[in-house]
Amino acid sequence: MRDKIVAGNWKMNNTLDEGISLASEISNMVADEVMDDVKVVLCPPFIHLSSVSKIIEGTDKLYLGAQNCNDHTSGAYTGEISVDMLKSVGVQYVIIGHSERREYYGETNEFLMKKVDTALAAGLTPIFCCGESLEIREKGEHFDFVTNQLTESLFHLSADDFGKLVIAYEPIWAIGTGKTASKEQAQEMHEKLRAHIAGKYGEGVAEGISILYGGSCKPSNAAELFAQKDIDGGLIGGASLKSRDFVDIVKSF
Ligand code: PGA
């Protein structure tokens, strides 16, 4: 049985007080309403992590994730945050390779390989993001492009380490646009990714990996996406900022 996971990527939103309120609301709603076996990962901005950690401490479904980490373990990297710092405030997951980091901060497949290694070495679970632009999809190159992102950033890992990852497929044309991939488009890509992983690591590893969908996932479309055979949950941006919407998505399995 693969883990069912819904992760909320708050991005650069909410002051500390707002973040504390949001996390408290989500924590209460999840405790009252979510009976399913699902892991709910909150990924607030760095400076909220310590406070959110205290809110979710002792809950059985909520986990803490960071939106990024540095590829080095410590040193003279002004303004950066290390994996050990994240761990010291209770972080368990870290989003790596989000398309916004790739696009605005120049993060390449090769560079992301280092971040994945650093996160795994610290015992954090990377949520590794992949996904194509509209231009690539329209040229019909999306399967090659996305599988190549996995090959270049992840296929140096041992099968044991690869099995610790969570993958998130996020078509760039669907992120923050309100335009969700159809359940068929998402399932098709997830199936390709799982087959690609199986080709390298075997069926056992591929079948165990949770592959999340991200890109304008909301309460109205989460159930049909999560019902697909190869979709194991979601990485949620905009809708994770509203407790009611986010928890409704969590309840969509
Ligand atoms: P969105 O963002 O749900 O707002 O489209 C998803 C993401 O970027 O992780």
Contact 26, 245 (CB under 8 A): no
Domain containing residue 197: CATH number? 3.20.20.70
Question: What pLDDT, on a 0 to 100 scale, did the predictor assign at position 113?
Answer: 98
Q: What secondary structure letter does DSSP report for 47?
A: G
Residues marked active site are found at 98, 170
Query: How much is the pTM?
Result: 0.97
The Cα–Cα gap between 220 and 137 comes to: 25
Cβ neighbours for 236, distance < 8 A, ≥ 6 positions apart = 6, 7, 8, 9, 214, 217, 246, 249
Question: What pLDDT, on a 0 to 100 scale, did the predictor assign at position 13?
Answer: 98
Contact 49, 86 (CB under 8 A): yes
Using the mean position of ligand 1's atoms as its centre, give its distance from the Cα of residue 76 in Å: 32
| The three-state (H, E, C) secondary structure of 91-108, written as one string | CCEEEECCHHHHHHCCCC
Question: What pLDDT, on a 0 to 100 scale, did the predictor assign at position 36?
Answer: 87
Task: Categorize the per-residue pLDDT at 1 as very low, low, confident or very high, splitting at 50, 70 and 90.
Answer: confident
- Specify the number of domains making up the chain: 1
Residue 114: count of CB within 10 angstroms of its CB: 14
Give tens-digit pLDDT for 226-252.
999 999 999 999 999 999 999 999 999
Single out the residue of 60, 85, 66, 69 nearest to residue 8, CA to CA.
66
Residue 121: count of CB within 10 angstroms of its CB: 11
The Cα–Cα gap between 192 and 229 comes to: 12
Instruction: Tell me which residue has tokens 């056992």.
Output: 204
Tell me what the mean pLDDT of segment 80-91 comes to.
98
Q: What tokens were used for 161?
A: 């380490």
Which atom of ligand 1 lies at the shortest distance from residue 215's CA?
Answer: 5
Which atom of ligand 1 lies at the shortest distance from residue 240's CA?
Answer: 3
Tell me what the mean pLDDT of segment 43-60 comes to.
97
Instruction: Tell me which residue has tokens 């760039």.
Output: 172
Single out the residue of 224, 213, 215 nearest to residue 183, CA to CA.
224
Which atom of ligand 1 lies at the shortest distance from residue 100's CA?
Answer: 8
Q: What tokens were used for 86?
A: 């994240």
Check whether 176 has a pLDDT greater than 90: no
Using the mean position of ligand 1's atoms as its centre, give its distance from the Cα of residue 99 in Å: 10
Contact 36, 253 (CB under 8 A): yes
Contact 47, 81 (CB under 8 A): no
Which residues form the pocket of ligand 1, taking CB atoms under 6 Å from any ligand atom? 9, 170, 175-176, 214-217, 235-239
Tell me what the mean pLDDT of segment 176-197 comes to.
95
3-state secondary structure of 60: coil
**Residue ranges making up the domain that contains 163:** 4-250
Amino acid at 55: I
